[in-house]
């Protein structure tokens, strides 16, 4: 379930960025007879030829997420939920011990297991 959610998240985020860029190109390409300065509408083409545009394109999401990460870190450190406390208690345990807690037994004979594997 979470894999499909992650995939749809990537599709929606990437799609919204792509839709904004397409809109910017189309909007900047439209000129009318009432334009006072024709160069204003072609700004996106000049802007995208600079280093600052791509630097800002990477910097803005990173800085925006930084505040969220700091908030989550402070909240987890000073005001943790009960499940986060349990996670911290068990964080140094290896994953192999967690499999022992499951009450699932293999009731297949070696012959059945081999046939299912094939």
Tens of pLDDT along 73-101? Answer: 999 999 999 988 988 888 887 766 555 55
Mean pLDDT calculated for residue range 30-46? 67
| Tokens 């009318």 found at | 32
Distances, alpha carbon 61 to alpha carbons 8, 27, 56, 73, 112, in Å: 19, 23, 9, 18, 52
The whole-number pLDDT of residue 71 equals 92
Mean pLDDT calculated for residue range 44-56? 84
pLDDT over 70 percentage in the chain = 76
């Amino acid at each position: 379930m979470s894999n499909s959610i992650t995939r749809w998240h990537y599709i929606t985020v990437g799609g919204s960025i792509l839709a904004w860029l397409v809109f910017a190109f189309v909007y900047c390409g439209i000129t009318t007879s009432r334009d006072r300065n024709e160069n204003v509408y072609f700004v996106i083409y000049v802007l995208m030829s600079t280093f600052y545009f791509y630097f800002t394109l990477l910097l803005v999401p990173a800085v925006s997420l930084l505040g969220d990460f700091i908030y989550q870190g402070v909240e987890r450190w000073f005001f943790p939920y009960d499940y986060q406390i349990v996670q911290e208690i068990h964080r140094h345990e290896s994953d192999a011990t967690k499999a022992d807690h499951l009450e699932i037994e293999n009731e297949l004979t070696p012959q059945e297991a081999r046939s299912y594997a094939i």
